[in-house]
Structure 1
Amino acid sequence: MTPNPDFAEEMEALESAEEFLQYFGIPFSPRVLAVHRLHILQRFHNYLGGAGEAPGFETCKALLARAYADFVKSDARTEAVFRVFQRAQGIAKVSIQSIGRARS
């Protein structure tokens, strides 16, 4: 598939991990997706958040391939994408706003 220069609209129409991987032409194992699809999409979202305001097609493709590869060689517990796994590892996040609040 040849990417549209303004592919943001096309990406918004994608719904499943399979659709994202197919859109970007990234080969994948159905077995890996059966177990890690939500983790892969969340990790992709996290990587996009650090990629700047409007990453291009090639950047998005590389970030999705990286997110997928994270779960080919690892597992959900180790990668700790979701809060439940972070808490299980003893990782807690505290907002800046909650630090130093006046006590009643």
Structure 2
Amino acid sequence: MNCSADSSPIDVTDILARLRGLSAAEEFFAILGVSYDPKVLDVSRLHIMKRVGQYLAEEDLSGLPDQVIAARVRATLERAYEDFAISSPLSHRVFKVLKDHDPNKPATPGRTFVPFDAVLKRFEEE
């Protein structure tokens, strides 16, 4: 099932203020007229929205007309959605907790991991 935007043009009037007032990911897709698969959004909504924020932090939207802002934000949402539509959230690791626990990243020097079982064995022996 795909949730597709209708073919009518999006309302770009005061788009940034309207986007700031949204709370659900589905609302962003609807306002910006971006199609999505609910299954992808159910699994990756937080990751997609975090990635949108990361991409938008690289943009300078100040002083631009609403139509240009809407087009850039729409393209950014599409780009972030595609990141997670084609691969898992674990492969992108946008959140700190996932970055910190990347099995492909070497352990931080000075921080030794001690399994909980090893700690328990020590107390059981005493």
TM superposition score normalised by structure 2: 0.67
TM superposition score normalised by structure 1: 0.80
- Contact kept, 8 Å, 2:56 with 2:73, in 1: the verdict is yes
Q: Which of 66, 70, 76 is residue 89 of structure 2 equivalent to? A: 76
Deviation per residue, 1:59-85 (Å, 9 max, x gap): 000001000000000111101100111
Which amino acid in the other structure matches residue 63 of structure 1?
A: T
Equivalent residues in 2 for 1:4-83 (5 A)?
4-54=12-62, 56-83=69-96
Question: Which protein is bigger by CA-based radius of gyration?
Answer: 2
Q: CA deviation at 1:44?
A: 0.3
Runs of 4+ that moved beyond 3 A:
none
Which amino acid in the other structure matches residue 40 of structure 1?
A: I
Aligned-residue RMSD, C-alpha: 1.9
In the alignment, structure 1 segments of 5+ residues that lack a partner are 93-104
Output the CA distance in 2 between the equivalents of 1:47 and 1:91.
27
In the alignment, structure 2 segments of 5+ residues that lack a partner are 1-8, 108-126
Q: Per the alignment, do residues 76 and 91 of structure 1 end up closer, same or farther by CA in structure 2, a change over 3 Å counting?
A: farther
Output the CA distance in 1 between the equivalents of 2:43 and 2:85.
10
